[in-house]
Amino acid sequence: MLTRRDFLAGSTSVLAGAALGQQPAKKTLVAITLDLEMSRNFPTWDATHWDYEKGNLNDETKKYTAEAARRVKAHGGVIHFFAVGRVFEQANVDWLREIVQAGHPVGNHTYDHVNVRAQLPEEIQFRFNRSPWLIEGKSPAEVIRENVRVCSAAMKMRLGIDPAGFRTPGGFSDGLRDRPDVQAMLQGLGYTWISSLYPAHLVGDPGKEPDANVLDSIVAAQKKAQPFRYPKGLVEVPMSPISDIGAFRGGRWKLDWFLKAVRLALDSVIATGGVFDFLGHPSCLYVVDPEFRTIDMICDIVKKAGDQAALTDLGAIAKHPTA
């Protein structure tokens, strides 16, 4: 005999779907990813010196990072971090070692936050424009490969771990589809998956509340932010718009506008099944969202979605690219 509990459980999943003639949506995998680097224009708009010292994290950024990790873990998830190698030049990395010990993965974000698509020396990174002797005699491709390699070496020496995947500094609307040479370089360094694609979408005029056009464009971009495999086997796990930098630097948005856009985007992915890869930067979020509202909201949405969504990391997502 069916108990009331059995009946209710059945009625809300299989039976309800069958009655409506619909397939239940695939479980949505949700990753919260934070890039550990300092961000131009934060904490104050005129701050640009970080361009030359991306890894010189300030205390506020480190505190925010640790508390964000604690909150997501309390919800049964992890944060997937990507660190620039210069973080490991700081005297003390105990705060990051504790985060790793709590089970949060840390991936490679290059040593100096270099543009992996650069083909001219001046396109690589600000630091090398000011101090060109650091890369003298090397081709951009050699500089970039070495910059990825030494980030892992630093991580190994300071944290005792290998990187959990690779994320390109900056996102590219088509990922690395047109750069098989860069894909091959990363595969040669041992990476099986990367995160480089950030689909194009509207942001609206700076300082203006996003209208329906902008929000629709962000929701529509979720379809282009689904994981896939490049022809030579490397897996891409894109970033899901809108990022904090896109909203607060690009759009000069207010926090409530950002929360609304992220909520609409995540809800739309949960409704259809797929992957959502939130991209944030503690160096920006501590300024614009000091109460962790974005991260708490994502955790709450996933919790309320029950069996339809789960918090995970990019490594787990990369095991099952959809295409």
Rule CB under 5 A: which residues touch Zn ion?
35, 37, 169
Residue 245 CB, shortest distance to Zn ion, in Å, is 8
Nearest distance in Å: CB 37, Zn ion = 5
Opening angle at CA 293, ends 97 and 227, nearest 5: 70
CB of 167 to Zn ion, least distance (A): 7
Per the CB < 8 A criterion, the answer to whether 104 and 78 are in contact is: yes
- Would you say 146 and 138 are in contact if contact means Cβ atoms under 8 Å apart? yes
Nearer to Zn ion by Cβ, of 86 and 149: the residue is: 86
CB 88 within 8 A of CB 158: yes
For Zn ion, the closer CB: 37 or 112: 37
43 preceded by cis ω (within 30°)? Answer: yes
Rounded to whole angstroms, the Cα distance separating 121 from 136 reads: 9
CB of 281 to Zn ion, least distance (A): 7
Cβ pair 24, 13 in contact under 8 A: yes
Smallest gap from residue 81 Cβ to Zn ion (A): 11
Spacing of C-alpha 169 from chain mean position: 10
Please, which residue, 250 or 273, has the CB nearer to Zn ion?
250
Residue 313 CA to residue 23 CA, distance in Å, equals 26
Helices (H) and strands (E) in the chain, counts: 13, 9
Q: Which is nearer to Zn ion, 76 or 170 (CB)?
A: 170
What minimum distance in Å lies between the beta carbon of 304 and Zn ion? 30
Closest listed residue to residue 148, CA positions, set 123, 168, 122, 126 = 168
Nearest distance from C-beta of residue 169 to Zn ion, angstroms? 4
- In the complex with Zn ion, the residue whose CB is nearer, 35 or 313, is 35
Query: Does residue 311 contact residue 78 with C-beta atoms inside 8 Å?
Result: yes
Which CB sits closer to Zn ion, 37 or 244? 37
- Residue 155 CB contacts under 8 Å (≥ 6 apart), including other chains: 83, 85, 88, 106, 108, 161, 162, 163
Q: Which residue lies nearer to Zn ion by CB, 55 or 169? A: 169
